[in-house]
Structure 1
Amino acid sequence: MSKLSEIDLGSTLLSTFILIGFIATAFVFVRLTIIGINYVKANYLKEEGEGRAEKITKSEKKGFN
């Protein structure tokens, strides 16, 4: 009977870790979706204007020239 309880314990632990993995994966997808939405809002939904021109000139200065 002791082997039966060990199998149940191992199965329970494995199922628990698989469930935790699914929850963590779902959390990562939700977080990436939020980051993507904020990126689109920040870069593509602004009107063309003075603020946009300043942002372009700042980005041109970055990197190796």
Structure 2
Amino acid sequence: MELVTGAIGALLPKLCLLFRSEYDMQRGVRKKIETLSRELKSVHAVLRKVRKVRGRAREKLRRCT
């Protein structure tokens, strides 16, 4: 039993580090997804406005891109 207790005692800190790094990575991915989502919403809003523009104004917008 002492062998198992010793092994778990040595393994536990390593597992904690692994889980912590996994948690941090997941949190980082979540932030990146939120940022990307905000950017896509902004692009979508611009595209809706551009769709409403007519004639020469639309051509000017196309040349700007």
Residue matched to 2:53? 48
CA distance in 2, matches of 1:32, 1:13: 29
Q: Which has the higher helix share?
A: 2
Which of residues 19, 31, 34 in structure 1 aligns to 2:23?
Answer: 19
User: After alignment, is 26-35 or 43-52 more displaced?
Assistant: 43-52
Structure with the greater relative contact order (CA < 8 A, sep ≥ 6): 1 or 2? 2
| Identity %, equivalent residues | 7
Q: Which has the larger radius of gyration?
A: 2
Q: Given residue 30 of structure 1, which amino acid in structure 2 is its aligned partner?
A: E
4+ long deviations beyond 6 Å: none
With structure 1 as the length reference, what TM-score do the two structures score? 0.69
For residues 7-56 of structure 1, the C-alpha deviation after alignment (integer angstroms, 9 at most, x for no partner) is 11101100100100110111111111000000111122342146433211
Any stretches of 5+ residues in structure 2 without a counterpart?
A: none
With structure 2 as the length reference, what TM-score do the two structures score? 0.69
Q: Given residue 45 of structure 2, which amino acid in structure 1 is its aligned partner?
A: K
What is the CA-CA distance between 1:3 and the residue it aligns to? 4.4
RMSD: 2.0
